[in-house]
Amino acid sequence: MSARAELHGDELVARRHLPATPARVWAAFTTPAGVAAFWGGSHATVPPGSVTVDLRAGGEFALDTRAPDGATRRLRFVYVHVDPPRELVFDEPVTGVRTTVTLRPTADGTDLTVHQRRLPPALRTARAAGGLASILDALADHLDHEGDSHAPSDPA
């Protein structure tokens, strides 16, 4: 199963079912190693040492993305709301994009929704939608290869 991403005006919504507990998905979104493992999707890599996480409302997380041509871009986000392991809300201060990550437990894993609002015109594209979908697919691959032996305990 692949991620689905849909554009609606200045909003982008991507969904993916993951055969992992919400605690494991949460850890991937909130730890430096987890973020580095999937954030670049199919279009970039994230050097593990570049990721910082201060997981609290008002805290920041930041990372470098490295394109195939070697170009590096620093990304920085500010947490608005942190509700483990259910919801993360963070803003990208330069563009004003607000992202809400919602995790819903299911009988066989987690339904993940990533909802981005206030997209600038440059990000209201099929390419942006495909990029977000590829990030969620990379997350699924990471969780699949991570193995249950390293799963954190469920904070719920």
What's the CATH code of the domain at 112?
3.30.530.20
Determine the pLDDT at residue 156. 41
Locate all alpha helices (DSSP H) within the chain, ordered by sequence. 22-30, 32-38, 126-146
Q: Which residues pair with 6 in a beta bridge?
A: 13
Establish if 56 belongs to a structural domain: yes
Determine the pLDDT at residue 42. 86
Q: How far is CA 71 from CA 45, 55, 68, 132, in A?
A: 11, 28, 7, 19
Q: How far apart are CA 154 and CA 156, in angstroms?
A: 5
Q: How far apart are CA 81 and CA 29, in angstroms?
A: 14
Q: Name the residue range of residue 73's domain.
A: 4-147
pTM of the model: 0.90
Nearest alpha carbon to residue 145 among 17, 15, 18, 4: 18
| CB-CB contact of 120 with 95 (8 Å) | yes
Establish if 98 belongs to a structural domain: yes
Indicate the number of domains in the chain.
1
Establish if 59 belongs to a structural domain: yes
Determine the pLDDT at residue 41. 87
Q: What is the total residue count of the chain?
A: 156
Residues 6+ apart with CB under 8 A from 139: 16, 18, 25, 28, 38, 112
pLDDT in tens, the chain (156 residues): 689 999 999 999 999 999 999 999 999 999 999 999 999 888 899 999 999 999 999 999 999 999 999 999 999 999 999 999 999 999 999 999 999 999 999 999 999 999 999 999 999 999 999 999 999 999 999 999 875 444 444 444
For residues 115-137, b (16+ Cβ closer than 10 Å) or e, as one string? bbbebeeebeeeebbbbbbbbbb
Q: How far apart are CA 132 and CA 139, in angstroms?
A: 11
Six-digit token string for 131: 């990029």
Establish if 155 belongs to a structural domain: no
Establish if 44 belongs to a structural domain: yes
